[in-house]
Structure 1
Amino acid sequence: MTEATTIFGIRAIIEAIESGSTIEKVYLQKGLRGDLYFQLDKILKKNKISTSIVPVEKLNRLSKHNNHQGAVAKTSPIEFQDLDSVIEKVLDSDKMPLFLVLDQLSDVRNFGAIIRTAECTGVDAIIIQKSGSAPVNSETIKTSAGAAFKIPICKVDHIKDAIFQLQAADIKLVAATEKTEDSVYDFDFKQPTAIIMGSEHKGVSNSILKMVDYKGKLPLLGEIESLNVSVACGAFLYEAIRQRQ
């Protein structure tokens, strides 16, 4: 467990990345130029670190008006784990594997709620994509009730990378989606499983849906067309627990 930190100044951010700090996101001033900036830009792209172009006023707030040189970075309060190592560790144990893959989930409160439910249901690891995913920040930690410190969270370059790794380990993939007539209750969770949940607005992407072993949906008996993703995730996870018990 580490403390989340704000780093300001281009050279300081470069040094933090090169020293192995887990950078969650870098905020850059629009129109930034110069040799040092181009060096930072190259390192950010090489390490696939998420960036956002923001007005100088936001940088002033983030850095509390310290000399930020047009760049402010936020470190992650947790250390992300290597997916291959986690899969190997789980397969070597006596436990039936249960992974959770989040495809471009963007809301930190949904993320925190999902982390909390995942920890309560014995999920072995949560897998997210490096870019486009909700960050693990103080609000995520708070909403998770501290569960973010108790469950492995793995970052991959692309969700497809995780799917290939899980498939190579003979782990079945079930996607939560309304784009199917099949019920989640018909899927056999009594086997090594990874549940895939999609983003708040688009759900699981079509390219990912083409790769999974099963697509399942929850029954909706009212007029609202979909559940909140954290609620749906909880329903899927507890169906897995129900079957396995």
Structure 2
Amino acid sequence: MSDSTRIFGIRAVIEAIDSGKNIDKIYLQKDLSGSLIKELGQKINKGDYNISYVPVEKLNKLSKGNHQGVVATISPIAFQSIEEIVEKAFSLTSNPLFLLLDQLTDVRNFGAIIRTAECCGVNGIIIPEKGGAPLNADAVKTSAGAAFSVPLCKVNHIKDALFYLQASQVQLIAATEKTNTSVYDLDLKKPTAIVMGNEAKGVSNSILKTVDYKAKLPLLGKIESLNVSVACGAILYEVVRQRISPEM
């Protein structure tokens, strides 16, 4: 996180909300009180912000100044709506490719995935409004600038995006070990959305029940799982392979 994407102080965060800044996350000290914090709380409740209640030690690390118990991060990237991303994708190609990240938490994994997605021609990356890794300076840096090229979208719930994609005739595929189907056995030349899960828990069960297919990568060693950004890259490049291979 850099100073250019971080603001601190109750009044500063209130003004950022009032001016329509693209606030990625708000860190609040536990058990704050007072009229200003009440005003901030009212504004937060009217919106849909990603909030973390943290001890003062965390805020001290995030801010070198008088944070007054509040630090917020501003996303350097403008997000688009799911409707905008899907409409634009289909205007460019008959078989768009989307990527959904279900509660991914590591910002460097996030950035690495964005970079790979850009290289693979992904038409849009969809993340949840709350609970996922912030698109902060570290994520943007790890993406090697790809975050400025790939359309990004935030939704209240990943399942809402899945239903919208299904209605748009996009097949939904979740990457999970909870299946016997290999990703190599699926037809990925159709309009496709790939769902990657949380680093520890994988794709949530409710989403696994929603998708059209579940698929996994073969693991031939003793380790039972891949890093999520590595797995995502392998799956995306299987999509690329199928779509550019003349015999497929």
- TM-score band by shorter chain is over 0.9
| SS of corresponding position for 1:231 | helix
Using the alignment, how far apart are the partners of 2:181 and 2:99 within structure 1?
20
8 A contact 1:4–1:137 mirrored in 2: no
Is 2:42 aligned against 1:42? Answer: yes
Counterpart mapping for 1:194-209 below 5 A: 194-209=193-208
How far 1:91 moved relative to its partner? 1.4
Q: For residues 60-81 of structure 1, give each alpha carbon's deviation from its aligned partner in whole angstroms, at most 9, with x where no partner exists.
A: 4433223x32212111111111
Q: For residues 189-217 of structure 1, give each alpha carbon's deviation from its aligned partner in whole angstroms, at most 9, with x where no partner exists.
A: 11100000001011101100000011111
How far 1:95 moved relative to its partner? 4.7
Using the alignment, how far apart are the partners of 1:59 and 1:211 within structure 2?
38
The residue aligned with 2:29 is 29
8 A contact 2:63–2:71 mirrored in 1: yes
Q: For residues 40-99 of structure 1, give each alpha carbon's deviation from its aligned partner in whole angstroms, at most 9, with x where no partner exists.
A: 123223322112223334434433223x32212111111111111111111122352100
1:34–1:97 Cα change, 3 Å: same
1:84–1:4 Cα change, 3 Å: farther
The residue aligned with 1:175 is 174
The residue aligned with 2:229 is 230
Using the alignment, how far apart are the partners of 1:102 and 1:59 within structure 2?
27
Using the alignment, how far apart are the partners of 1:88 and 1:4 within structure 2?
32
How far 1:176 moved relative to its partner? 0.5
- Which residue identity is paired with 2:178? K
Shifted more, 195-204 versus 25-34: the winner is 25-34
Tell me the percent identity: 65
The residue aligned with 2:9 is 9
The residue aligned with 1:96 is 95
| SS of corresponding position for 1:42 | helix
Using the alignment, how far apart are the partners of 1:122 and 1:16 within structure 2?
34
| SS of corresponding position for 1:223 | coil
- Which residue identity is paired with 1:227? L
Counterpart mapping for 1:90-169 below 5 A: 90-169=89-168
Using the alignment, how far apart are the partners of 2:4 and 2:96 within structure 1?
30
1:97–1:7 Cα change, 3 Å: same
Q: For residues 131-168 of structure 1, give each alpha carbon's deviation from its aligned partner in whole angstroms, at most 9, with x where no partner exists.
A: 11001111111211111111111100010111111111
RMSD after superposition: 1.5
Q: Which runs of 5+ in 2 are unaligned?
A: none
- Which residue identity is paired with 1:12? A
The residue aligned with 1:65 is 65
Using the alignment, how far apart are the partners of 1:166 and 1:75 within structure 2?
28
Using the alignment, how far apart are the partners of 2:61 and 2:236 within structure 1?
40
Using the alignment, how far apart are the partners of 1:57 and 1:101 within structure 2?
33
The residue aligned with 1:51 is 51
- Which residue identity is paired with 2:50? S
TM-score (norm 2): 0.93
Q: For residues 79-132 of structure 1, give each alpha carbon's deviation from its aligned partner in whole angstroms, at most 9, with x where no partner exists.
A: 111111111111122352100000000011111110110000000010000111
How far 1:9 moved relative to its partner? 2.0
Using the alignment, how far apart are the partners of 2:175 and 2:183 within structure 1?
8
8 A contact 2:5–2:137 mirrored in 1: no
- Which residue identity is paired with 1:176? A
Aligned residues between the structures: 242
Q: Which runs of 5+ in 1 are unaligned?
A: none
Consecutive aligned runs of 4 or more in structure 1 exceeding 6 Å deviation: none
Is 2:78 aligned against 1:76? Answer: no
How far 1:10 moved relative to its partner? 1.5
Using the alignment, how far apart are the partners of 1:207 and 1:100 within structure 2?
17
